[in-house]
Amino acid sequence: MHWGNRKKVKKNIEASELCEVKVSKIKSRPRRDISEEALVGLSDSIKRIGLQNPISLKPIDDPSYKYEVIAGDHRFLACKRSGVLTVPARILSGTKAKLQQHSENLHRVELTLLQKYEDIAGYQKTIAKSDAKDSRGGVQRHDKGVSKTARELKTSRKKVQSALKASKLEPVIKTAITSAGLANNASFIDRIAKLESPKEQERELRKARSKSSAASKSSRTSRTTGVTFAVMMTSWRKSRTSRLWRVAPLTERQLFVDHIQADSHEEDTDD
């Protein structure tokens, strides 16, 4: 639905035609950790049946390269490792490239809610800027792309609005939220984002840390009462860590277990 007379605008993320691009002309700057296990599996698959899912690229101004990967770093690196000379790709630029990059980031399971808010807000701002440039009159002024962002990312307007507020937080506040272990706490992020000044936000963070410290101390005091195997398994299945465990490489799982056991041993010794 459009409001008023509006210039017809093409869909933002539009499938461009596939083309073959030389691997030597592509630059990769992964925005997440590269899984060696995933690379090995992909390389084996590519050697057998080739790359089935094209990567997305954007043109760059670089004397050594023509394009940069915006979606598909694992696939590209696996092709490179397999000795492939060219890869099937879609070339995106401008608005399309930015939207694709934000959309791709939102599928990363290791991101915190606070980090996902950054990409939701970035997606909305890109849409708002594009609509302001391409449309003529009749734009829904007070919406500014919020509904469109919610629709295209298959989320709610409320979440987009929360993301916009959170994205305005100062970097030091965002870092403090993450350090306090509250980067996935939606209600806390919403609450602190509504506060007007960094000083008020810092006070709210101190309160949260104080409550967390008290709760942790209380938990340690009573951790041997009522804690059974069934209780721990229920807690594990409900946790975000359980979901991350399913997609983590075996080496990362073992490292995680080793650290948990070491921490538990230190706590027991301290007691």
pLDDT at res. 266: 54
The pair of three-digit structure tokens given for residue 227, joined into one six-digit string: 């804690």
Percent of the chain, pLDDT > 70?
78
pLDDT score for 3 = 38
Residue spans of the chain under pLDDT 50? 1-15, 139
Give the pLDDT of residue 166: 92
Q: Average pLDDT of the chain?
A: 79
- pLDDT at res. 12: 40
Q: What is the pLDDT of residue 22?
A: 92
Give residues with Cβ within 8 angstroms of 137, minimum separation 6.
4, 5, 6
Q: What is the pLDDT of residue 214?
A: 59
Kindly report the CATH class assigned to 19-93. alpha beta
What is the pTM (predicted TM-score) of this model?
0.55
CA distance 267 to 271: 6
* Extents of the domains making up the chain: 19-93, 102-218, 225-270
